[in-house]
């Protein structure tokens, strides 16, 4: 396992192990944790393109990063690149991913209700991943542009929300 992946795993495990960023108190309601990412690097800019070799490597790094964090549910869009990004983790954890088509506030509200107390991975796109994380956290999130290594972690406990933005995987440079 790469050093950068081990650091992210250690940091996230530590934070989640200590009552979800300090939000949950003894006897508090169960926490809900969302991990939101953009799909990994794609082969080309045309249509429903698959992941490139770098993207396949990043998808494996995502699996290595999240495999021990008790992910319950995985969501991805109907695009091949989001499915391929989620696939290594879904396979490792024996989870059948759910496909979502809309990432509007209604879908976010449904997620918040249906996934309460769970740990959820959402794989989106450059224009949707920051919006989803922001809507879940109730905050504005800047666009991510061409970056593929953002990992947004949104923790919700007792109606309090916190968001952490980390990087995962090896640098694309």
- For residue 17, give the H/E element and its range: helix 3-17
Q: pTM for this one? A: 0.86
Pairing outcome for strands 150-157 and 32-38? antiparallel
What domains lie within the chain, and their CATH numbers? Answer: 3-167 (3.40.50.1240)
pLDDT at 30: 86
What integer pLDDT is reported at residue 23 of this predicted model?
40
The pair of three-digit structure tokens given for residue 52, joined into one six-digit string: 């490139």
Q: What is the pLDDT along the chain (173 residues), one digit of tens a residue?
A: 455 544 455 555 545 554 444 444 444 568 999 999 999 999 998 889 999 999 999 999 999 999 999 999 999 999 999 999 999 999 999 999 999 999 999 999 999 999 999 999 999 999 999 999 999 999 999 999 999 999 999 999 988 999 999 999 987 55
Residue 25: per-residue pLDDT: 43
Tokens of residue 24, six digits? 């949950």
Q: H or E element: which one contains 132? A: helix 129-137
User: Which 8-state DSSP code applies to residue 51?
Assistant: B
Q: What is the pLDDT of residue 47?
A: 86
């Amino acid at each position: 396992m790469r050093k950068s992946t081990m650091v992210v795993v250690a940091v996230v495990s530590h934070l989640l192990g200590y009552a979800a960023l300090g939000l949950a108190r003894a006897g508090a309601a169960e926490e809900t944790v969302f991990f939101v990412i953009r799909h990994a690097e794609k082969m080309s800019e045309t249509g429903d393109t698959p992941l490139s070799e770098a993207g396949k490597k990043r998808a494996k790094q995502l699996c290595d990063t999240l495999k021990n964090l008790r992910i319950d549910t995985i969501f991805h869009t109907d695009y091949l690149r989001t499915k391929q990004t989620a696939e290594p983790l879904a396979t490792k954890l024996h989870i059948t991913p759910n496909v979502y088509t809309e990432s509007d506030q209604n879908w976010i509200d449904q997620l918040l209700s249906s996934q309460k107390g769970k740990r959820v991975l959402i794989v989106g796109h450059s224009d949707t991943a920051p919006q989803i994380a922001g809507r879940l956290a109730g905050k504005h999130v800047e666009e991510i542009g061409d970056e593929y290594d953002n990992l947004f972690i949104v923790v919700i406990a007792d109606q309090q929300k916190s968001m952490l933005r980390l990087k995962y995987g090896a640098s694309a440079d």
